[in-house]
Amino acid sequence: DSGVTQTPKHLITATGQRVTLRCSPRSGDLSVYWYQQSLDQGLQFLIQYYNGEERAKGNILERFSAQQFPDLHSELNLSSLELGDSALYFCASSARVDSSAFFGQGTRLTVV
Amino acid sequence: GESVGLHLPTLSVQEGDNSIINCAYSNSASDYFIWYKQESGKGPQFIIDIRSNMDKRQGQRVTVLLNKTVKHLSLQIAATQPGDSAVYFCAESLTGANNLFFGTGTRLTVIP
């Protein structure tokens, strides 16, 4: 158990809908990362927050957004969902921006 | 952008043998590298990391070697066990940067 908690574990939704994925980092970790893992793209970095502020953006679509709350948990919002958004979404946390990141178990999103 | 790749997508070894998983990276400025293990249905699990001021680092049954001259990283697993069967990812980062770039992964299968 990495100490990073993600909910829900599974999510099935229809195209055009909006979902919210939640992540609780390890106790004391200030940095939260979101990654998308699909079969043909591997692990793709989406976005990172540090102590409530956005620090870096990767290949995140405009339909996607995230935030980190004062209690350090983070949410990833996916809207106008398309079939191609079906993937595993992982959250990771680290103590600092340059320390090793520990991953949660992921949320498997299926868009039908 | 950074490019992290793996030489072999699959690797099969006999139980008890040593395994070597290789990774090439393209950004010579990267100075922090991590190996992750991902079992089916689970999130990536941190195995070992190494910074660019080191050539070798050992953990429990695992050793990471870094050759900065040829931009090559390897993970050696001693006395491979069935529980080591998984996909292994290398990831690179740059101190002060805020994300990890992952390779596509190597699937290790341990034959009993």
Q: Which residue has the higher pLDDT, A42 or A26?
A: A26
> Which residues of chain A neighbour B105 with C-beta distances below 8 Å?
42
Whole-number pLDDT of residue A69: 97
The three-state secondary structure class of A83 is helix
Query: Is B112 at the interface with chain A, CB within 8 A?
Result: no
pLDDT bracket for residue B97 (50, 70, 90): low
Q: How many CB atoms lie within 10 A of CB B56?
A: 12
- Of residues B99 and A73, more confidently modeled: A73
- The whole-angstrom separation of Cα A72 and Cα B22 is 36
Q: Which residues of B touch A103 (CB under 8 A)?
A: 36, 43-46
- pLDDT for the residue numbered B3: 45
Chain A residues bordering chain B (beta-carbon distance below 8 Å): 2, 4, 31, 33, 35, 42-45, 48, 50, 55-56, 58, 90, 92, 97-98, 100-106
- Is the Cα dihedral A83, A47, A54, A4 positive or negative? positive
Query: pLDDT digit string (tens) for B70-96?
Result: 999 999 999 999 999 999 999 888 776
